[in-house]
Chains A and B, each alone.
Chain A
């Protein structure tokens, strides 16, 4: 299923689950880390039937805006997948902090109010294209009431970042 990534995906499969098991014992773990990284193949815990509706605007790589009502408690990754928003390749690792494809750019006023970022998220943001000062991973941001009306952007300029990323010589 994961085309050329089978080698990597096999590794990630085991690797990610190790992380999930590790999290409870780690003193540096942020509560949300446990919440959004339960198992490799499951989504957020909420069923979407209760909780208030919050309006969120997504602007994709092509500048196209989608406005959706989302349920408090869902992560922004859950939203993109469930609402089938037109954002290419979003959430490849299914919210397990093993990739940076759910990278979103927030308005500064919103970014400043988000729950603090943990090392494990920064580790993945380090590999993201078009990183900004107000970048976060969508799988780590849970929708809350006060976010009503916010706009999040999917980063552009992938080609520009390619050169920089190659220099880091990642695998």
Chain B
């Protein structure tokens, strides 16, 4: 297994991994708190925000979470079977996930073939008729949520041209010089795509569409599947990061057969005993200390909400760790009591018929995926079946 900061941590003598455990079902947070002096919730955001519009449940509409799960081999998404026989796909949202989805839909198959995308999705994409992808956002170019790396990968896609609306960029050139470097470079790259467009002969195209919010998914005459989307046109009030989209009353209909909603991930409550803020979809906390619950902490997206790149979230985890250590030193955590730790939990799980997966067993799954990938010229071929993973882990 390649040596990384993560494998080094996993191999540390005071670290142990127990996989195949569904916390909240196989074991409760209270049981974990009895076994350990401190428990940290770092379980991220596995749900997604829904658009909340009519027609959202029609065939042809997917959450980005499911679509990404499909091409990345998440077992629960392997039967997604998205219909890629339409010409136009519309993605709602303009964050990094939205750009990733667009890139996967339009990238040449030769490029995808060498990645660890699942073989099933590769075949589906090889037969895809999707030629045009629109990435739609509520606000303007200066509020776009993606970062430059993801935008650059779209701009650099071979055999694909950019199809932007110059009108969406009115007034942008004038404010460029006052922007902070990251926002400035990102905006300049967009402006370049507006101006240069790319290869005219390219069969495939992508475009950003601004000042538009989804209001209804439209179905064809038979009412059985999505054939278009109705977008409300917005105007911007204010400027910069805090600019707001306001309704104008105007709408526009876009024909499309594939709609992907990429408007944000969302954390879900793990256990009824843990406080949860359903409005913000996070565990209420003060600097990582869970509200009203001594010895319980949280870090990452479940603590702050589902935004932030690796550096942001990693540093947030370090913050939680520092707070926890501070609490140990200040006596806020009662360390005078002995706690049984893992042996109590694994014994409990055993009585419930739950068998865990250790890190060394996880490594067997990893090795098998890499082995299968080798014969296909890919870094790995992912196992899509949890039972199969467990069989290999425990072999």
A4 near B301 with CB under 8 A, answer yes
Q: How many A-B residue pairs have CB under 8 A?
A: 181
Residues on A with C-beta less than 8 A from B309 are 8, 99-100, 127, 170-171
A4 near B2 with CB under 8 A, answer no
B222-278 contacts to A (CB < 8 Å): 241, 265
Residues on A with C-beta less than 8 A from B3 are 43, 81-82
Per the bound structure, the CA–CA distance linking A19 and B114 in Å amounts to: 10
Per the bound structure, the CA–CA distance linking A121 and B117 in Å amounts to: 25
* In the complex with contacts A4-B44, A22-B111, A100-B311, A10-B4 CB distance below 8 A: no
Closest Cβ of chain A to B358, distance in Å, is: 13
B148 near A94 with CB under 8 A, answer no
A123 near B310 with CB under 8 A, answer no
B116 near A99 with CB under 8 A, answer no
Residues on A with C-beta less than 8 A from B45 are 4, 7
What is the size, in residues, of chain A's interface with B at 8 Å between Cβ atoms?
60
Closest Cβ of chain B to A110, distance in Å, is: 22
Quick one: which of A1, A7, A39 contacts B10, CB cutoff 8 A?
A1
* In the complex with contacts A126-B181, A127-B147, A169-B145, A7-B100 CB distance below 8 A: no
Residues on A with C-beta less than 8 A from B356 are none
Quick one: which of B46, B145, B315 contacts A129, CB cutoff 8 A?
B315
Per the bound structure, the CA–CA distance linking A93 and B177 in Å amounts to: 32
Closest Cβ of chain B to A47, distance in Å, is: 14
Per the bound structure, the CA–CA distance linking A115 and B158 in Å amounts to: 27
Residues on A with C-beta less than 8 A from B149 are 97-98, 120, 123-124
Residues on B with C-beta less than 8 A from A170 are 96, 145, 147, 307-309, 312
A171 near B308 with CB under 8 A, answer yes
Does A101 touch B at the CB level, under 8 Å?
yes
B311 near A128 with CB under 8 A, answer yes
Does A64 touch B at the CB level, under 8 Å?
no
B307 near A98 with CB under 8 A, answer no
Does A119 touch B at the CB level, under 8 Å?
yes
Quick one: which of A3, A100, A119 contacts B300, CB cutoff 8 A?
A3
Most buried by A among B74, B146, B300, B308: B308
Residues on B with C-beta less than 8 A from A11 are 68, 72, 96-97, 100
- Closest A residue to B240 by beta carbon equals A167
Per the bound structure, the CA–CA distance linking A5 and B10 in Å amounts to: 16
Per the bound structure, the CA–CA distance linking A123 and B313 in Å amounts to: 18
Per the bound structure, the CA–CA distance linking A102 and B318 in Å amounts to: 15
Residues on B with C-beta less than 8 A from A93 are 310
B379 near A99 with CB under 8 A, answer no
B310 near A101 with CB under 8 A, answer yes
Residues on A with C-beta less than 8 A from B115 are 13-14, 17-18, 21
Does A6 touch B at the CB level, under 8 Å?
yes
Q: Could you give, for residues 302-325 of chain B, a 1 whenever the CB lies within 8 Å of some chain A CB and a 0 otherwise?
A: 100011111111110111000000
Does B182 touch A at the CB level, under 8 Å?
yes
Does B39 touch A at the CB level, under 8 Å?
no
* In the complex with contacts A17-B114, A21-B114, A170-B308, A7-B314 CB distance below 8 A: no
B152 near A119 with CB under 8 A, answer yes
A7 near B156 with CB under 8 A, answer no
* In the complex with contacts A124-B149, A127-B147, A2-B6 CB distance below 8 A: yes
* In the complex with contacts A8-B310, A11-B68, A127-B147, A18-B103 CB distance below 8 A: yes
- Closest B residue to A16 by beta carbon equals B115
A39 near B379 with CB under 8 A, answer yes
* In the complex with contacts A1-B10, A169-B145, A17-B379 CB distance below 8 A: yes
Query: What 10 A-B pairs have minimum CB-CB distances, sorted nearest first?
Result: A4-B44, A17-B115, A10-B72, A126-B182, A99-B310, A4-B300, A171-B95, A41-B2, A123-B149, A123-B148
What are some 17 contacts across the A-B interface (CB < 8 A)?
A: A1-B6, A3-B317, A7-B45, A18-B107, A22-B111, A42-B2, A89-B315, A91-B5, A100-B310, A101-B311, A120-B152, A127-B182, A129-B311, A129-B315, A168-B183, A170-B147, A171-B147
Q: Which residues of B contact A (CB under 8 A)?
A: 2-6, 8, 10, 42-46, 65, 68-69, 71-74, 95-97, 100, 103-104, 107, 110-112, 114-117, 143, 145-150, 152-153, 156, 158, 180-183, 185, 241, 265, 299-302, 306-315, 317-319, 362, 370, 379
Q: Could you list 19 further interchain pairs (A-B, Cβ under 8 angstroms) beyond the known A11-B72, A165-B311? A: A1-B362, A3-B43, A5-B44, A10-B68, A10-B73, A14-B115, A15-B150, A40-B379, A81-B8, A91-B4, A123-B149, A123-B185, A129-B311, A159-B319, A162-B312, A168-B147, A169-B145, A169-B241, A171-B96
